[in-house]
Amino acid sequence: MSLLWLIPALPLAGYLALAFGGSRLSRAAAAWIGVGSVGLSALVALGVAAQFIGTPPAGPAFHQTLWTWMSVEDFKPAIGFYLDAMTVVFVLVVTGVGFLIHLYSVEYMAGDEGFRRFFAYMNLFVASMLVLVMADNLLLLYLGWEGVGLCSYLLIGFWYKDRVNGRAAQKAFIVTRVGDTAMALGLFLLVWQFRTLDVQQLMTQAREQWRVGAGMATAAAALLLGGALGKSAQLPLQTWLPDAMAGPTPVSALIHAATMVTAGVYLIARTHVLFELAPAAQLAVAIIGAATLLISGFSALAQRDIKRVLAYSTISQIGYMFLALGVGAWSAAVFHFMTHAFFKALLFLGAGAVILSLHHEQDIHKMGGLWKRLPLTFWTFLAGSAALAGLPLITAGFYSKDLILWSAWSSNAGGPALWAAGLIGAFLTALYTTRLVCLVFFGEEKGRVASKPGWRVSAPLAILAALSIVGGFVETPRALGGIRWFGEFLRSALPAAPGVEEAPERMESAMMLIASAAALLGIVLAGVLYLGMPRVVEGIAKRAWGAAAQAFWLGGWGFDWLYDRLFVKPFVWAATVNRDDFIDSAYNGVAAFFSLLHRGIIRTQTGRVRWYAAGVALGAVALMAIVLWVR
């Protein structure tokens, strides 16, 4: 436990070594440092987790305060870490999945001239993410939050020589900034109200001092929700994530699928007390989650770029997590976070392997028949797709999604409408996932496979595929064994969803069957449509309404178009009109005023010693006059 600090410190050290070692390091050394630091960190995380499970700490959590940065009255920001059951899950996923993706990147990025820079940024990202999930106070949490935002920006625009990538990075940064501003205000509000930065103290005091539905609690929860929406790409701040696919594929896997985008989920789960005190805000979380998962599910159906399909699918799956959070099923959200990290990282890495072997071809309509050429990639991708589609019984994604759907139905905060949205989403997920697999791996061969992946790509794929299958057996419905390990483990940190446990088992089984049917229906329908009757799909696409829907969904429901009209264009127009910024003239006035003062006072520096001596004498007189006059 005392080694807790090593978990974020190792990747940070890796970053520093890579950043300062720079071009002096050979590629091999850079790879060793970059992968090794995260690998060691994962090992330490495993050891800490084993100890946490073996000998649980006295309270709900283990606390490690390294030092206090500064201390002035109530303002005592500490460099301190907080490890409870939820943190254990996040730390294991971040370091474990992070390590596999780093290993994969050694091969994926092998020919890139920015090899060292890439690993430096990736290490910094892992360090920031760990600081974010381990922080015991708001300041450190915010440092991690902004750190991952910075790394996301740097890595989306990693190939900065292409303008498009730079724009995508800026878009991601600016859109999330809207949410971050709300979140910063929320943090200020909390600190202002409770005069402490410590997250746990804040939660205790909030529970004691605020009643349910209090205006202040709703405001704080809503502001934090704003931050979560930006980072997790939920409605209405979801538009940055599809464009973020401009970064290298391992970045998409690590940052824009498995870890960073779930920071919003972490934030809400960490401050769940506030959301319990603010039912309105919590309902908003559920509704936003449901709406997001539907909208992006439809969008995923129409995409042509393999990475954009996965990007919309990520938005949709995080929508599920928000839905779970919104109905109070905190541990279900964390469960889905974990399984999603496995299978979505797998899918992105698999997509990367496909893209690489086809000379950076990303259009799924130009792929096909790859199952024979890339067998390992195919089988692992299939496992990930099955988990994403929620193939019943044998995949991790099925169990976590089923738990969310069941919670949405049975929780006191849930209801049939939320459940129905989730169910339609499950059908859509199965549909677009199967479409993707069919177009990429089956049908006629269209591209030529140039190279086959090596072991550094294959090993992470295989491990993640295994996790995507077995990762779900830690929490199962009552009809299927009723394993409750995951929920029990998290119980010390996150309360159970009210009403879920009490609901009848027969209902749960029925719901499970309906959810399974929806997923299977989607899989079969897509299989039939895209493999058996591709004419029908083409026919629909040729009709006017079909083409319109496709274009509408392809563009992500026109949000980009809307925001462009609503915000970007007017802003650019205002900036153009105000080219000689009238507000600037005030600042220029200040600057001119001070340069005028400068020009006046610089005349005193004559360089003549007699004048300087006179200055001392006059100063002495003035000082004497002051003390004697005010006496």
State the residues that interact with another protein by CB under 8 A.
Answer: 67-70, 72, 79, 591, 594-595, 597-599, 601-602, 604-605, 607, 609, 611-613, 615-616, 618-620, 622-624, 626-628, 630-631
Question: For residues 544 and 616, which CB has a smaller minimum distance to another protein in the complex?
Answer: 616
Residue identified by tokens 């971040």 is: 94
Q: Cβ contacts of residue 280 below 8 Å, gap of 6+?
A: 213, 218
CB of 586 to another protein, least distance (A): 14
First to last CA, the chain: 62
Question: For residues 360 and 603, which CB has a smaller minimum distance to another protein in the complex?
Answer: 603
Residue 84, both tokens:
């409870």
| Cis omega (within 30 of 0) for bond into 236 | yes
Of 312, 300, 227, 209, residue with least CA distance to 263: 227
Distance CA 134, CA 620 (A): 58
How many C-beta atoms surround the C-beta of residue 589 within 10 A? 10
CB of 73 to another protein, least distance (A): 8
- Calculate the CA dihedral of residues 498, 504, 506, 510 and round it to 10 degrees: -30
DSSP per-residue string spanning 595-609: HHHHHHHGGG----H
Q: Are 521 and 430 in contact (CB under 8 A)?
A: yes
CB of 42 to another protein, least distance (A): 26
Question: For residues 84 and 136, which CB has a smaller minimum distance to another protein in the complex?
Answer: 136
CB of 45 to another protein, least distance (A): 24
CB of 127 to another protein, least distance (A): 15
Question: For residues 577 and 601, which CB has a smaller minimum distance to another protein in the complex?
Answer: 601
CB of 75 to another protein, least distance (A): 9
**How many Cα atoms are found within 13 Å in the side-chain-facing hemisphere of 504?**
3
Distance CA 609, CA 604 (A): 11
Q: Is 555 helix (H, G, I), strand (E, B) or coil?
A: coil
Question: For residues 146 and 488, which CB has a smaller minimum distance to another protein in the complex?
Answer: 146
Question: For residues 417 and 618, which CB has a smaller minimum distance to another protein in the complex?
Answer: 618
Exposure pattern of 287-319 as b/e (b: 16+ CB <10 Å)? bbbbbbbbbbbbbbbbbebbbbbbbbbbbbbbb
CB of 12 to another protein, least distance (A): 12
What φ, ψ does residue 198 adopt, rounded to 5°?
A: -70, 125
Question: For residues 117 and 340, which CB has a smaller minimum distance to another protein in the complex?
Answer: 117
Q: Is 73 helix (H, G, I), strand (E, B) or coil?
A: coil
Provide the pairing of β-strand 78-84 with 61-68: antiparallel
**How many Cα atoms are found within 13 Å in the side-chain-facing hemisphere of 467?**
21
Quick one: three-class SS letters along 167-188? Answer: HHHHHHHHHHHHHHHHHHHHHH
Tell me the β-bridge partners of 64: 81
CB of 252 to another protein, least distance (A): 31
CB of 167 to another protein, least distance (A): 24
Counting beta carbons within 10 angstroms of the beta carbon of residue 204, is it exposed (0 to 12), middle (13 to 18) or buried (19 or more)? middle
Counting beta carbons within 10 angstroms of the beta carbon of residue 74, is it exposed (0 to 12), middle (13 to 18) or buried (19 or more)? exposed
Question: For residues 26 and 71, which CB has a smaller minimum distance to another protein in the complex?
Answer: 71
Question: For residues 547 and 596, which CB has a smaller minimum distance to another protein in the complex?
Answer: 596
CB of 609 to another protein, least distance (A): 5
Q: Cα dist. 258→299, 317, 343, 346, 360 in Å? A: 20, 11, 9, 9, 22
Q: Is the dihedral of CA 286, 291, 294, 295 positive or negative?
A: negative
Question: For residues 127 and 285, which CB has a smaller minimum distance to another protein in the complex?
Answer: 127
Of 67, 64, 35, residue with least CA distance to 51: 64
Q: Are 204 and 61 in contact (CB under 8 A)?
A: no
CB of 65 to another protein, least distance (A): 11
What φ, ψ does residue 311 adopt, rounded to 5°?
A: -65, -50
Question: For residues 568 and 597, which CB has a smaller minimum distance to another protein in the complex?
Answer: 597
CB of 191 to another protein, least distance (A): 16
Residue 599, both tokens:
């020009």
CB of 602 to another protein, least distance (A): 6
CB of 195 to another protein, least distance (A): 16
Distance CA 541, CA 503 (A): 44
Question: For residues 147 and 226, which CB has a smaller minimum distance to another protein in the complex?
Answer: 147
Q: Cβ contacts of residue 501 below 8 Å, gap of 6+?
A: none
Question: For residues 149 and 319, which CB has a smaller minimum distance to another protein in the complex?
Answer: 149
Q: Is 81 helix (H, G, I), strand (E, B) or coil?
A: strand
Question: For residues 547 and 591, which CB has a smaller minimum distance to another protein in the complex?
Answer: 591
Question: For residues 450 and 592, which CB has a smaller minimum distance to another protein in the complex?
Answer: 592
Counting beta carbons within 10 angstroms of the beta carbon of residue 351, is it exposed (0 to 12), middle (13 to 18) or buried (19 or more)? buried
CB of 592 to another protein, least distance (A): 11
